[in-house]
Structure formats: structure tokens, C-alpha cells
């Protein structure tokens, strides 16, 4: 065998996930004994609630741990169908639900099942890092729709209409948004719903943060606007963020039966069922007491307010108020192109973030990974102490740049 091995050309345009890279770099520095504060990871710092862990333990003792139906165990699919039908005002049967190994896997199956070579998917930017790469892996073309901070990063119906071509299949709507924390208003959702029907688009509604909205913001489901939109919406959701269950790896999709069946075919020839024990835990999460969500949401909200206040106090930094998810997305472009005390010019946000972690001992994710160069993403799903110390480090480091 020649070395290095020739890698399939379909991977040529694919970038590694920048959020995972930043998190790994911070973890490595920490393991080397360096005191780093990391705002990189997109996961709650809370432990999975006890009643969920107890249900998993009890199931293990009863011998859970076998292959299940590829689509997931029926009680879980029933619970998901009931919850999503209620939230999105659509009628979803358990057959229209596919449980996968995290919502990331759900999205991957979805793009693989949906796209022919050259099919286009509209993706508003800033976007979650994986959408464009997944679309490309599936042979599709991501069409990026730029939004503006001053419009709270909302894509407009006019932009969507103007971007549609004969090849457009779908639009990804991530509400609340990772990385910006923006939450669409009812009026914005209604305008988008109209254009989606006019242009015959499928809506890929990534609602993984829908239960994490703050202040007077409300989550408005596009599927619920009217039955025409409901029919053309694929719901992507999961337990990772809502129930502090990122490592259990359970996400799910609900939508048109033939699409779910096609995704099931892919899952059946790749991973088979998601982990049995995690499915039991997800069932306990969805059907058990829900007060854990309010407790975590309250803590996130307090941290959000503190983080935004501290970020806004840094000279020449602006930060929109994030209204959902657990990220702040400040604009650091005033510090790009400046020179560090060590003598390097920080030409872009990637270099700035590398320098921040190495010299400032604080890890944040460069906005260019989300299609928003000049911005950075900070997760506030960490302790108040880390927020105060970490944003303090960020502020002090930035102010040494000339
Ligand atoms: C917008 C968005 N969608 C989907 C996912 C995938 O979540 P998981 O695979 O943990 O269920 C994430 C995780 O970071 C996300 O931020």
C-alpha cells in the first residue's frame, strides 16, 4: 500500500469542525497543566438530571443493551411524536420519527437522503459549523445567505425568495441560533413561512435550543404557522442541550414518511440503532419531570446577562443581546489586524483566537467557522466564576493589542 493513502475526493471541500478543534486545543493545554478558561464547548456544564440517570441504571439492571429497531424503540418514538405534535401543531405518527446518534447524525442522514448532486440548500449565516460541510458531503451546494448583526442576524423572506433557483430544495432554520443566540420573532417566522410555500421549499427546522429562550423572547414554530408549512417541515430536535445529555448522543427527526424511511435506510446500513441505554434515558427525559429545564434555563439566563454586560464593557466590542441557546457572539473586528506585544500581527479571527488561547489563556471560537469573520462565539454554559474570570482575561488581552 502506498503511504499516505489516497483519500476520497468528496472530502476535499470538507473542513474539520472548528468548535471541536478549539475545545480539543483548550483541553490539551489544560491537560498539560496550563490554566485555560474555555468558552468553546457547546454543552451545558450541568450533570444529567438524577431521574434520567436512575432510569438508565434501572434499565441496565434489567438487561437493556441489545440491538433495537433501527429507528429507535417504539415507546421513545411515541413520546417524541406526542411532544413534537403538541409543540408544532402537526400530527406526527411514531413511524414518522427516526431516532439517531445525536441531532448531528439526524442532520447528516437527512442531507444524505434528500440531496442529489448539485441540489441547493439555503443556509443563513452565521450558521452552525456543520451545515455547509454536511450538505457538501451529501453532494449538495450550500447557498449562504448573509444576515446583519443590526437585524439580529435574521434572514428575511426577500433574501430567501431572491436566492431560490431551480435547484433549491430546502432552507435550514436554526431557531434559536447557534452561534448568535438570535430568536426569530413571530412576524419574521410568518414572513418566512409564506415564502417557503411560494417557493416550494422544505424547511429543515433545527430546534435543538427551542426550550432555551430568555426574557420576553418566545420560540415560534414555523411548522405551526399553517398546515401547508407543517407538511413541508422536517423537525430536528434532541435531548443533548435541553437535558444536559450531550454525551448520551440521542437526537431525532420527524417529518414526511418517505423521507424518514429513506433516512432509516441510510441509518440501517451505517450505524443501526442509537445506543439502547441512551434511548431509555431519553425516554425518561421526555416523559419524566420537566422542572430540571426551568432550573437550568434560569442559571443560563443569569450567566447570559453577566456575560453580555462584561463583553459590552470591553472597549470597541459590540455584542447583540442573545435571546436563546447559550452563546454570546460579540464583534471583535476592531482588534483584527493589530499587533501583539510579542510582535505578531493578528490578521484574522482565527489568528486572534489562537493568540487569545496561547497568550490570554482564554478559548473562544472564531466566527469565520460560522460564516461570520470578525466575530467570536463564547458559550455561557459554564460557571459564573469562569465567566467573570474568562471575560476579564479576554478584555485584558485585547487591550494589550496595538
Ligand atoms: C444548532 C445545532 N444543531 C445540532 C446540534 C447537534 O447536537 P447533538 O448531536 O449533540 O444532538 C448542535 C450541537 O452543537 C447544534 O448546536
User: 306-319, pLDDT tens digit by residue?
Assistant: 999 999 999 999 99
**Is the pLDDT assigned to residue 88 strictly greater than 90?**
yes
Cβ–ligand 1 contact at 361 (below 6 Å):
no
Residues 397, 359 contacting (CB under 8 angstroms): yes
**Whether domain 9-47+292-398 has CATH 3.20.20.450:** no
**Closest ligand 1 atom number to CA of residue 43:** 14
- pTM for the model: 0.96
**Strand runs labelled E in 89-167:** 97-100, 120-125, 141-146
Q: Check pocket membership of 127 for ligand 1, CB cut-off 6 A.
A: no
Q: Averaged over 126-145, what is the pLDDT?
A: 97
Closest of 370, 344, 371, 377 to residue 358, by C-alpha: 344
pLDDT higher than 90, residue 1: no
Q: Is 206 in the pocket of ligand 1 (CB under 6 A)?
A: yes
Return the biggest CA–CA distance within the chain. 63
pLDDT tens-digit series, residues 271-289: 999 999 999 999 999 999 9
Query: Candidates 104, 245, 324, 325: which one to mutate for ligand 1, based on the most atoms within 8 Å of Cβ?
Result: 104
54-83 pLDDT tens trace? 999 999 999 999 999 999 999 999 999 999
Whether pLDDT at 120 is above 90: yes
For 15-31, what is the mean pLDDT? 83
Strands (DSSP E) contained in 137-215 are 141-146, 168-174, 202-206
Give distance in angstroms: CA of 238 to centre of ligand 1: 8
Strands 365-366, 362-363: parallel, antiparallel or unpaired by DSSP?
Answer: unpaired
Question: Which ligand 1 atom sits nearest the alpha carbon of residue 104?
Answer: 9
Distance CA 145, CA 159 (A): 7
Does the beta carbon of 128 lie inside 6 Å of ligand 1? yes
pLDDT of residue 2: 72
**Domain residue spans in the chain?**
9-47+292-398, 50-287
Q: Which residue from 17, 107, 127, 128 has its CB within 8 A of the most atoms of ligand 1, so it is best to mutate? A: 128
pLDDT of residue 83: 98
User: Peptide bond preceding 85: is omega within 30 degrees of 0, i.e. cis?
Assistant: no
Pick the atom of ligand 1 nearest to 174's CA: 1
Q: Is 273 in the pocket of ligand 1 (CB under 6 A)?
A: no
How confident is residue 94, by pLDDT bands cut at 50, 70 and 90?
Answer: very high
237 lines ligand 1 (CB under 6 A): no
Assess whether the C-beta atom of 212 lies below 6 angstroms from ligand 1: no
Query: Which H helix or E strand runs over 376?
Result: strand 376-379
What is the Cα–Cα distance from 10 to 13, expressed in whole angstroms? 7
CA distance 31 to 40: 16
Number of continuous H segments (helices) and E segments (strands) in the chain:
13, 14
- Whether residue 397 is predicted with pLDDT greater than 90 in this model: the reply is yes
CB atoms under 10 Å from CB of 113, counted, come to 21
Report pLDDT digits (tens) over 212-265: 999 999 999 999 999 999 999 999 999 999 999 999 999 999 999 999 999 999
Q: Is 174 in the pocket of ligand 1 (CB under 6 A)?
A: yes
CA distance linking residue 201 with residue 16, whole number of Å: 29
Ligand 1 centroid–CA 240 distance in Å is 7
pLDDT value of position 69: 98
In tens, the pLDDT along 359-382 reads 999 999 999 999 999 999 999 999
Span from the CA of 215 to the centroid of ligand 1 (angstroms): 23
The 3-class secondary structure across 271-337, one letter per residue, is CCCCCHHHHHHHHHHHHCCCHHHHHHHHHHHHHHHHHHHHHHCCCCCECCCCCECCEECCECHHHCC
126: cis peptide before it, omega within 30°?
Answer: yes
Judged by phi (left if over 0) then psi (alpha if -120 to 50, else beta), residue 108 lies in alpha
CA 105/CA 44 separation, integer angstroms = 19
Which of the listed residues 210, 241, 250, 281 should we mutate to test ligand 1's pocket, taking the one with most ligand atoms within 8 A of CB?
Answer: 241
Ligand 1 center from residue 346 Cα (angstroms): 30
End-to-end Cα separation, the chain, in angstroms: 52
Element (H, E) at 365: strand 365-366
pLDDT score, position 205: 98
> How far is 279 from 262, CA to CA, in rounded Å?
21
CB of 238 within 6 A of ligand 1: the answer is yes
Distance 237 CA to ligand 1 centre (A): 8
Instruction: Find the 358 Cα to ligand 1 centroid distance in Å.
Output: 27
Tell whether ligand 1 has an atom less than 6 A from the beta carbon of residue 251: yes
Top mutation candidate among 109, 135, 208 for ligand 1, by most atoms within 8 Å of CB: 208
- What is the number of other CB atoms lying within 10 angstroms of the CB of residue 281? 27
3-state helix, strand, coil in the chain (%, to 5): 45, 15, 40
**Cα separation of 342 and 279, whole Å?**
51
Which residues on neighbouring strands pair with residue 362, listed in sequence order? Answer: 37
State residue 335 phi and psi, 5-degree precision.
-100, 5
Q: Are 9-47+292-398 and 50-287 in the same CATH fold?
A: no
Radius of gyration of the chain (CA): 21
Which one-letter DSSP state was computed for residue 233?
E
User: Please, which pLDDT band fits residue 22 given cuts at 50, 70 and 90?
Assistant: confident
pLDDT digits (tens, 9 = 90+) for 149-204: 999 999 999 999 999 999 999 999 999 999 999 999 999 999 999 999 999 999 99
Distance 62 CA to ligand 1 centre (A): 31
The length of the chain in residues reads 402
50-287 — its CATH code? 3.40.640.10
> What is the H or E stretch that residue 236 is in?
strand 233-238
How high does pLDDT run on average in the chain?
96
Amino acid at each position: 500500500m502506498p503511504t499516505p493513502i489516497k483519500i476520497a475526493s468528496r472530502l476535499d471541500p470538507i473542513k474539520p469542525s472548528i468548535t471541536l478543534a478549539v475545545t480539543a486545543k483548550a483541553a490539551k493545554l489544560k491537560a498539560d497543566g496550563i490554566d485555560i478558561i474555555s468558552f468553546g464547548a457547546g454543552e451545558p456544564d450541568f450533570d444529567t438530571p438524577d431521574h434520567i440517570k436512575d432510569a438508565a441504571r434501572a434499565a441496565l439492571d434489567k438487561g437493556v443493551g441489545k440491538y433495537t429497531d433501527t429507528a429507535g424503540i417504539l415507546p421513545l418514538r411515541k413520546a417524541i411524536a406526542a411532544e413534537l405534535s403538541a409543540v408544532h401543531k402537526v400530527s406526527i405518527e411514531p413511524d414518522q420519527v427516526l431516532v439517531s446518534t445525536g441531532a448531528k447524525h439526524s442532520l447528516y442522514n437527512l442531507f444524505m437522503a434528500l440531496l442529489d448532486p448539485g441540489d441547493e440548500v439555503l443556509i443563513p449565516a452565521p450558521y452552525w459549523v456543520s451545515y455547509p460541510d454536511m450538505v457538501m458531503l451529501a453532494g449538495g451546494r450550500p447557498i449562504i445567505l448573509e444576515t446583519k448583526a443590526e437585524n439580529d442576524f435574521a434572514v428575511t423572506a426577500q433574501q430567501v425568495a431572491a436566492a431560490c433557483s431551480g435547484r433549491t430544495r430546502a432552507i435550514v432554520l436554526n431557531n434559536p441560533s447557534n452561534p448568535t443566540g438570535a430568536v426569530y420573532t413571530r412576524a419574521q417566522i410568518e414572513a418566512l413561512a409564506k415564502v417557503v410555500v411560494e417557493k416550494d421549499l422544505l424547511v429543515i427546522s433545527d430546534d435543538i435550543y427551542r426550550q432555551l429562550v430568555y426574557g420576553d423572547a418566545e420560540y415560534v414554530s414555523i411548522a405551526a404557522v399553517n398546515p401547508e408549512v407543517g407538511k413541508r417541515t422536517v423537525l430536528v430536535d434532541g435531548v443533548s442541550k435541553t437535558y444536559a445529555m450531550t454525551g448520551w448522543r440521542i437526537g431525532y427527526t420527524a417529518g414526511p414518511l418517505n423521507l424518514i424511511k429513506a433516512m432509516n435506510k441510510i441509518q440501517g446500513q451505517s450505524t443501526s440503532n442509537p445506543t439502547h441505554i441512551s434511548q431509555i434515558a431519553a425516554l425518561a427525559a421526555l416523559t419524566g419531570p420537566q422542572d430540571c429545564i426551568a432550573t437550568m434555563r434560569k442559571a443560563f439566563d443569569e450567566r447570559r446577562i453577566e456575560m453580555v454586560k462584561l463583553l459590552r464593557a470591553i472597549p470597541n466590542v459590540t455584542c447583540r443581546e442573545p435571546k436563546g441557546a447559550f452563546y454570546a457572539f460579540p464583534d471583535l473586528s476592531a482588534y483584527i489586524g493589530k499587533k501583539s506585544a510579542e510582535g505578531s500581527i493578528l490578521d484574522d479571527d482565527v489568528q486572534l483566537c489562537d493568540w487569545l488561547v496561547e497568550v490570554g489563556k482564554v478559548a473562544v471560537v472564531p466566527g469565520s467557522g460560522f460564516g461570520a469573520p470578525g466575530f467570536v462565539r463564547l458559550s455561557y454554559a459554564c460557571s459564573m466564576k469562569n465567566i467573570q474570570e474568562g471575560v476579564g482575561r479576554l478584555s485584558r488581552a485585547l487591550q494589550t493589542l496595538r
